[in-house]
Structure 1
Amino acid sequence: MSFIWTLSWPKEIKNYAPETRIHERSNLRGFLRYLYQERAVIRQDLSALIQGPPVFAQSNPPRFLTLEQTRKLLESIDVNHPQGLRSYAMIHLMLSLGLRPGEVCKISLDDIGFQKKEICIPDRKNAIPARMPLPCDTLKALAGYIAWERPKDPGHRFVFCATRPPFKPITSMAISLDTSACFRKAGIKGSAYWLRHTYAQNLLQSGASIFEIKEMLGHDIIKTSNAT
């Protein structure tokens, strides 16, 4: 039996930044997939019904970091602090692979091939798993966090955890907030998606086609890559 499920968003939603709306919709989709796949509380996957407004051509181009800003951001992170080492690894993943916060939070220890220097991203927005090479700096950042700061037995295989007991897996919203805090500390006004845009810009400048960028970003339609 077919049906239409509608959600009534609070009127105050218009006061939230576009990035916040995107993250909230992503969290709701993940929760619905969890209810369907893990708990079998609902009989069908309703996550696809959570849709945002249509994305039209942007009047302002996506913002990305310059080489100097990238250096300043990474150097401002205190890697001697547990949360700093975690932030350093997460930002490297988003910056060097163009990952979304929602993809970073789902990475497990089993997805990382340290010997092959590659990582598997099983749950992408376009539903196509990706196996990507890990740059040396990103590999070192991940290894440093896992070896020195990740809890030895947090009770799960997710790479990134809370810094305090019970060491639950970090959420995409927490990654976004953590990244924004790193931007502020570096004196840069930006968000986690700036890192993704920077990755796309670097691909473009290196000569990659828009179709190659689409595949690397995990987009399902080419128009999204044009907007990014």
Structure 2
Amino acid sequence: MWKKNRISDGVVGIYLYWVRRFRAYCRRRHLEETSQLTLDGLRRFLHAYVGPLTKGPVAPSTCFVAQHALHAWAWALCALQVPVSEWRPPRAPAKLTPLLAAYRQYRCSHYGVAEKTVQQDIETAKVFLALLPGGSKSVSKASVADIDTFVSRLSARLSKGTVADYCSSLRAFLRFLYTTKRLRCDLASCVASPRIRGAERPPRALPWGDVRRLLGSIKQKEPPGKRDFAWLLLMATYGLGAAEVLGLDLEDVDWKSEILHVRRPKTKAEIELPLLPPVAKALAVYLQAERPSHVQSRRIFLNSTIPYTPLTSSAIRQRVRLYARQAGVDALVLGAHVFRHSHATRQIDAGVNPKVVGDILGHRRPSSTSVYVRVALRRLRQVALPVPR
């Protein structure tokens, strides 16, 4: 199974070395192997293990190798339908106060609020409550002065854009307090956040030539080149965000009907996109030649190392920057979202109706699409007025 997932013979030998020693340790102590195959069990094993050469504790680098080996063993047993304990038990969620618990339920009941946004809103509420003289007990006495103190402290150490995000979260919390009769007055309108003009930020769209250079810089003959080429082509072709690409399951590709089913992470709405031949080919090559086998996850894009968990947005961001350096592409803003901007700008430049572009991108309001119009330089030059003499 390890060899089917392109793990070399040398690495397999190292894995088996540590598996044999772990099993011997369990036999000596009359321990059940599968119940000990956890991160905590690994630490107990390494604490008791004595190196054959050093006759003492193992080095940190050796511990790192042993952890990879036993984690790979646990994954293989799980893939073979052998019951094993969870390698790293999930952390118990932090206990919220009754006020914050009610606020979380309030935010989650509103359609279109992502879980990450809810978490940010909770953290903002915690910071604001900590500023009040009596904490959450004095929330009914919150004043405009408390709001100004909150914003001024953030402004002293954070950028304008970050402060504006915090202010938006604070407004949501203040509306909740007013709606639930915990505040007599609606103080949301009193939150004065920094004013950010859309034109202040540099255009996030890349010239289409740079996008093609990025795609060309990926070495598809070496893992994970086929995987990275497939997700980057998806983002460049359809303007999908990282969350939309990472949320794709194997069932979302309808090969017979040539349709790609995409779910919007915020609204949970599903759209159907035509499965274009170049995209279909890139996906098929990755799925047949590079995607790990014997995995339980139905996500299309997985990490290339055991335990083959779904790819994350931070991994995509790092890979985009790597390929940008290889292609010699230099931009002030580089990340997954830049391909969404590049796709939309290219469509606007080509004369596509902004309403159609907005529908494909999942925008509810035309103002959300207007940000791409200001960087559609080709069309803007056509409507430029002559300079008066």
**Shorter-chain TM-score tier:** 0.7 to 0.9
- How far, CA to CA, are the matches of 1:171 and 1:211 in structure 2? 31
- How far, CA to CA, are the matches of 2:265 and 2:353 in structure 1? 20
- How far, CA to CA, are the matches of 1:178 and 1:54 in structure 2? 33
Give the match for residue 272 of structure 2: 131
What do residues 68-95 of structure 1 show as CA deviations (whole Å, max 9, x unaligned)?
Answer: 2222111110001111111100100100
- How far, CA to CA, are the matches of 2:268 and 2:157 in structure 1? 28
Pairwise CA distance, 1:136: 1.5
What is the Cα-based RMSD across aligned positions, in Å? 3.0
What do residues 40-77 of structure 1 show as CA deviations (whole Å, max 9, x unaligned)?
Answer: xxxxxxxxxxxxx9975332453323232222111110
Give the match for residue 141 of structure 1: 282
Counterpart code for 1:3? Y
- Number of equivalences: 196
What do residues 183-215 of structure 1 show as CA deviations (whole Å, max 9, x unaligned)?
Answer: 121111332222111110121123222211111
Rg larger in structure: 2
Task: Give 2:298's match in structure 1, choosing from 157, 181, 186.
Answer: 157
In the alignment, structure 1 residue 193 sits paired with structure 2 residue 337: yes
- How far, CA to CA, are the matches of 2:230 and 2:311 in structure 1? 13
Give the TM-score normalised by structure 1. Answer: 0.75
- How far, CA to CA, are the matches of 1:143 and 1:120 in structure 2? 16
Higher relative contact order at CA 8 Å, sep ≥6: structure 1 or structure 2? 1
Give the match for residue 3 of structure 1: 103
Matched ranges for 1:1-228 at <5 A: 3=103, 6-8=122-124, 14=158, 56-60=197-201, 62-189=203-330, 190-228=334-372
- How far, CA to CA, are the matches of 2:222 and 2:157 in structure 1? 35
Identity %: 27
Give the match for residue 150 of structure 2: none
CA contact (8 A) 2:246 2:301 kept: yes
Pairwise CA distance, 1:171: 1.3
CA contact (8 A) 1:79 1:88 kept: yes
CA contact (8 A) 1:105 1:175 kept: no
Q: Secondary structure at the match of 1:82?
A: coil
Q: Secondary structure at the match of 1:202?
A: helix
CA contact (8 A) 1:213 1:225 kept: yes
Which has more helix, going by share of residues?
A: 2
Q: 1:54 to 1:145 in 2, by over 3 A?
A: farther
Give the TM-score normalised by structure 2. Answer: 0.46
Q: Which runs of 5+ in 1 are unaligned?
A: 22-52
Counterpart code for 2:357? I
